[in-house]
Amino acid sequence: MEGAFGYKTAKHTYGRFDFDFFGGGGGLLAVTEIEYLGRSLNQRAYDVGRAAGEALESIMRHGAAKGNLGSGNTLHQFANVALNALNAGFTDAATFTFNLVATNEEPALGQLKFFGVRIVDLISAQLTERSTQLGLSDHDVAPWLTRTKIALQERKDRLVDDFEHGMHGSERLKKDNVVNAVINQSNSPGAVAQVGAGTFSQTVFTQQQHQLIEVIDQTLSSQEFLALNPDQQQGFRDIADVVKAEAARPTPDTGKLQRWGKTLVTFSTDVGLKVASSTIAQVLLKIFGA
């Protein structure tokens, strides 16, 4: 029979309860499951927008302290943060979606597509607001803002296309009970550090929060870090500031700490911070479990 949004549904009875299911190539999905997915993705979208705003604020604080807030370099850093936030937020949402419903087809695909539209809008709103506070002329900001929004849209479209075709980065989608952050550990290149999802321990966090801040600060003074180019150094600082802010709280936003912690590990790996990616991931492993 036809159900909501035109999807085929089937009626199943378990005990005293009747459930409608959506039909699709990936099997039957309970309506309640899809509703839960929609609620979760909606909240995750707002989390991505807030996190992006905080990262942009961090760039502004650093720029103001150095006296170069109103510069093209600030806009360049803004664009990098925006794209990193989109990548991290969408990747996390795609992993969550596939782990929940074990399919990349409708109606789950439609939910994720809408999520992508929302985070592009939310990140763009943060960029628009902050870029008007830099003291730059509209002649400089307007074309940059247009180009950055187009870049966000194109990146979102590519990520959706990857998910629709069963890809997660360069690998096939697979269901797992943990979120994997691939890192090149100093003693085991290509090893996989499993940062557990949904197993946050407040007790372990209290024991490890200062250690997490310490390993990040140690990275900032390491030879590995000093060997990076200025843009790579600033990119690490921007993400690290968000992680450290959560780590400094008595009770952190666990979802935000997990997402941005994973982003920090991935970024460290991408720019060649082998020791940092390993040590930071090891602390996160203790906090979130595996």
4 is a domain residue: no
Residue 86 pLDDT > 90? yes
250 preceded by a cis bond (ω within 30 of 0): no
Number of domains in the chain: 2
Q: Region 48-67: what's the mean pLDDT?
A: 93
Q: Region 96-113: what's the mean pLDDT?
A: 87
Residue with tokens 């927008």: 49
15 is a domain residue: no
56 is a domain residue: yes
Of 134, 156, 172, the one marking the end of a domain is 172
Domain co-membership, 54 together with 124: yes
23 is a domain residue: no
User: What integer pLDDT is reported at residue 18 of this predicted model?
Assistant: 35
Mean of all residue pLDDT scores within the chain = 80
Domain co-membership, 43 together with 164: yes
The Cα 87–Cα 82 span in angstroms is 9
* Residue that wins the pLDDT comparison between 99 and 153: 153
Q: Is 181 helix (H, G, I), strand (E, B) or coil?
A: strand
Domain co-membership, 156 together with 37: yes
Domain co-membership, 161 together with 284: no
The Cα 122–Cα 257 span in angstroms is 19
Tally of CA atoms within 13 A in the half-sphere of 76 that contains its CB: 9
Residue 94 pLDDT > 60? yes
* Dihedral over Cα of 89, 91, 97, 100: its sign: negative
Domain co-membership, 160 together with 246: no
For residue 12, give the H/E element and its range. Answer: strand 9-14
Task: Place 244 in a pLDDT band, splitting at 50, 70 and 90.
Answer: very high
The Cα 117–Cα 261 span in angstroms is 24
Q: Is 132 helix (H, G, I), strand (E, B) or coil?
A: coil
Please give the order of strands across the beta sheet that includes 9-14. 9-14, 17-24, 27-30
Domain co-membership, 153 together with 214: no
User: What integer pLDDT is reported at residue 31 of this predicted model?
Assistant: 52
Host domain of residue 234: 178-288
Domain co-membership, 154 together with 217: no
Domain co-membership, 273 together with 233: yes
How much is the pTM? Answer: 0.57
Domain co-membership, 168 together with 182: no
Ranges 189-193, 244-248, 255-259, 279-283: which has the least confidence: 189-193
Domain co-membership, 155 together with 43: yes
Domain co-membership, 47 together with 167: yes
The Cα 1–Cα 18 span in angstroms is 15
* Residue that wins the pLDDT comparison between 127 and 193: 127
Of 172, 199, 223, the one marking the end of a domain is 172
The Cα 225–Cα 218 span in angstroms is 9
Planar angle of CA 44, 182, 121, nearest 5 degrees: 25
Residue 91 pLDDT > 50? yes
Task: Place 2 in a pLDDT band, splitting at 50, 70 and 90.
Answer: very low
7 is a domain residue: no
Q: Are 58 and 266 in contact (CB under 8 A)?
A: no
Q: Are 141 and 148 in contact (CB under 8 A)?
A: no
User: What integer pLDDT is reported at residue 26 of this predicted model?
Assistant: 40
User: What integer pLDDT is reported at residue 173 of this predicted model?
Assistant: 81
82 is a domain residue: yes
Domain co-membership, 74 together with 131: yes
Of 146, 172, 198, the one marking the end of a domain is 172
The Cα 48–Cα 31 span in angstroms is 26
> pLDDT tens across 172-185, in order?
887 543 334 333 33
17 is a domain residue: no
25 is a domain residue: no
